[in-house]
Amino acid sequence: MSKVKIMAEDLSLFYGDFQALKKISLTMKEKEVTALIGPSGCGKSTFLRCLNRMNDIIPTCHVEGKLTFEGEDIYHPDCDVVALRKRVGMVFQAPNPFPKSIYENVAYAPKLHGTKDRALLDEIVETSLKQAALWDEVKDRLNKPALGLSGGQQQRLCIARALAIKPEVLLMDEPTSALDPISTLKIEELIRELKQHYTIIIVTHNMQQAARVSDRTAFFLVGDLVEVDDTEVIFTNPKDQRTEDYITGRFG
Ligand SMILES: Nc1ncnc2c1ncn2[C@@H]1O[C@H](COP(=O)(O)OP(=O)(O)OP(=O)(O)O)[C@@H](O)[C@H]1O
């Protein structure tokens, strides 16, 4: 049995008076891929953003209930948010490399965290690009602009950038929605590789993708967590009629 990495217990989130998450209880285990699915506006991204306290920047937002990372309360006033975000990396929907070289994109965060040694930075860049399955395509042009890469390569670069500070958890918010089918499959293959080392939580609109890459799937509907189970069970034998209606395409 793998160990519990992140656990939400009765987690509610409000944007002003609007309740976007309603008492969500969900356990995410180490080195598993958890997919969050559900129709637009159901709270998937909101939930994902709680996991590294990205919602903090929204002034109207407040959270109730409990969210723990390896047993420690993420929303406790003493929680070191910078340290948390180092352990919980994020990859966004559209590839968003910095307008810098490929090398500098990956070296950026380690430098920010104080790594100055060039040989060590070289090693981090190479390892991260290899882990993101991009090294072979870019090793001869590390000093070229990142924005000259294809969309799929840019997204793998963003994954390498997230890996460069050696996180334990990777949050992915619809990481392939801006990509073509071939690049999408590459990222999915990569996710399956990465889960050997990382705990991954992915928001996706694509149910085939959830079925292909995840171990567990959580179905959200208007702020509620309707059902969570092994991915195979969710897609073959869901317990809740609303889950069945959604995965069979009856709504959403
Ligand atoms: N900054 C915000 N201020 C106010 N309401 C917000 C904010 N962000 C999201 N919401 C609302 O919270 C609800 C959940 O939004 P969220 O983006 O988490 O849904 P989602 O399931 O990820 O949707 P999508 O699949 O379309 O990205 C929606 O009703 C949305 O309008």
Per-residue pLDDT reduced to its tens digit, 149-183:
999 999 999 999 999 999 999 999 999 998 899 98
Token pair of 169 as six digits: 């958890």
Q: What is the pLDDT of residue 2?
A: 82
Token pair of 220 as six digits: 């959200």
Q: What is the pLDDT of residue 252?
A: 67
Q: State CA 185 to chain mean position distance.
A: 17
Atom 2, ligand 1: which residue's CA is nearest? 15
How many A from CA of 38 to the centre of ligand 1? 12
Tens digit of each residue's pLDDT (9 = 90 or more) over 189-235: 999 999 999 999 999 999 999 999 999 999 999 999 999 999 999 99
Q: What is the pLDDT of residue 251?
A: 74
How many A from CA of 88 to the centre of ligand 1? 21
Asked if residue 58 has its Cβ within 6 Å of ligand 1, the reply is yes
The CATH number assigned to the domain with range 4-248 reads 3.40.50.300
Cβ pair 96, 148 in contact under 8 A:
no
Tell me the average pLDDT across 73-77. Answer: 95
Q: Which atom of ligand 1 is nearest to the CA of 58?
A: 1
* Residues 106, 102: Cα–Cα separation, whole Å: 7
Looking at residue 22, its amino acid is K
- pTM metric for this prediction: 0.95
Asked if residue 175 has its Cβ within 6 Å of ligand 1, the reply is no
Q: What is the pLDDT of residue 249?
A: 87
- Rg value, the chain, Cα: 18
The answer, yes or no, to whether ipTM is higher than 0.85 is yes
Asked if residue 59 has its Cβ within 6 Å of ligand 1, the reply is no
Instruction: Count the neighbouring beta carbons within 10 Å of the beta carbon of residue 196.
Output: 7
Cβ pair 49, 85 in contact under 8 A:
no
Q: How far is CA 241 from CA 191, 247, 250, in A?
A: 30, 10, 11
Asked if residue 42 has its Cβ within 6 Å of ligand 1, the reply is yes
* Residues 224, 164: Cα–Cα separation, whole Å: 34
Q: Distance from first CA to last CA of the chain, Å, rounded?
A: 34
Asked if residue 20 has its Cβ within 6 Å of ligand 1, the reply is yes
Judged on CB neighbours under 10 Å (0-12, 13-18, 19+), 59 is exposed
Per DSSP, the three-state class of 206 is: coil
Determine how β-strand 88-91 pairs with β-strand 72-73: unpaired
Q: Which atom of ligand 1 is nearest to the CA of 55?
A: 1
Q: Which atom of ligand 1 is nearest to the CA of 18?
A: 5
Token pair of 36 as six digits: 């969050």
* Residues 217, 244: Cα–Cα separation, whole Å: 13
Judged on CB neighbours under 10 Å (0-12, 13-18, 19+), 49 is buried
Is 90 a residue whose pLDDT tops 90? yes
